[in-house]
Amino acid sequence: MAQKVAMVTGAGQGIGQAIAERLANDGFAVSLVGRHLDKVQKIADEINGNGGKAIAIKADVAERDEVFAAVDATVKEFGDFNVIVNNAGLGPTTPIDTITPDQFDWVYKVNVGGVLWGTQAAHKAFKELGHGGKIINATSQAGVVGNPNLALYVGTKFAIRGITQTTAQDLAAEGITVNALHQVSLRHQ
């Protein structure tokens, strides 16, 4: 059986790093995507040093073309593509009266745009490769219940739940499953 291939966005730290490491431990070849190449390269080097197979890719998920290029680079390197984990996200503290248009654009482009572009890029790759696949979108308990002072973040996580539910229905007939990874955030005051 051929090695399965996964791509994880926001893989330079935290939950994204843990997901990438777990996939590698489970036998996946993984591409680690992040805005800071040095961060994802360090983790890719650790995975490779532990007997896994990983590459690091610099991309900003807010930019559609960069997400498509990252998927293309993953397919080119590993010869297949089976799973995308749309994990990259921002969670700034944003009391409702402090939100600026720039903050809104930035958070929604990363959190929601990154999921949309990742879903589109994965769908394109699955079709070109002639098989189904898995799309996993990072949401949060904040996508179920509003949290104080996090209006932007919470709004994006509610949006991701809706996008996930819709695309799960839209892509099921093609053998593509779309699910949400529900994260619980522990914030220290």
Residues taking part in catalysis: 153, 157
Report which DSSP code applies to 150: B
b or e along 117-149 (b: 16 or more beta carbons within 10 Å of the residue's beta carbon)?
bbbebbbebbeeeeeebbbbbbbbebbeeebee
Angle, vertex CA 117, rays to CA 112 and CA 122, nearest 5: 130
Dihedral-angle region of residue 182 (phi above 0 means left; psi in -120 to 50 means alpha; beta otherwise): beta
